[in-house]
Amino acid sequence: MTWTVAPEPYDSPVAAALWRAYYTEVSDRWYLLREGRPTDPAELEREIAAQSGADLAPPRGRLLVARYAGEPAGTAGVRLLDGTRAELTRVFLRPGSRGRGGAALLVGAAEDAARDLGATRIVLDTRGDLVEARALYTRLGYAETEPHNDDPYAEHWFSKPLDRPA
């Protein structure tokens, strides 16, 4: 079984299905932890529709889709924030695809995409309850930093310089 990672239009059926899976998981984790219930279905639909991913389209962004054995397994997106910084977002692997090296591969491909966009630094935010994500970013050389945005759900911010390949 092998992994592949390739750009995908943010509005493709594959991207939409992975976005729905990602958002459902992180939203349900939020509400289950804080309120003891899953996300209200109407709220889930509103939020999925409100965040189309258009900011991940070229020329200032990229959405990448990882496939495992040819099947869509996960995503990572990058978008330029300014002339030198890109933001990593929507890093997600379907639960059945986790533990097989796909997350590091996806983040590495997103870093390459950020370099291609002209970024020399990549930043991201995540929540405290997403302990797996925080461990991944630390393992991949990201350092926790001061906030770079005011996202109401962000609790941890990370940054990494993007060295140019030799």
Model confidence pLDDT, tens digit, residues 118-154: 999 999 999 999 999 999 999 999 999 999 999 988 9
Neighbours of 145 (CB within 10 A): 14
What is the per-residue pLDDT across 5-30, written as a single tens digit (0 to 9) for each?
Answer: 999 999 999 999 999 999 999 999 98
Q: Which two tokens stand for residue 81?
A: 């924030």
Distances (CA, A) of 72 to 17, 27, 51: 9, 21, 20
Nearest to 114 by CA among 79, 63, 83: 79
Residue 74's contacts (CB-CB under 8 Å, 6 or more residues apart) are 18, 65, 66, 91, 92, 93, 94, 97, 102, 103, 106
Q: What are phi and psi of 76, to 5 degrees?
A: -150, 140
pLDDT tens-digit series, residues 49-79: 888 899 999 999 999 999 999 999 999 999 9
Please count the other Cβ atoms lying within 10 Å of the Cβ belonging to residue 35. 9
Q: What pLDDT band is residue 163 in, cutting at 50, 70 and 90?
A: confident
So what's the pLDDT on residue 150? Answer: 92
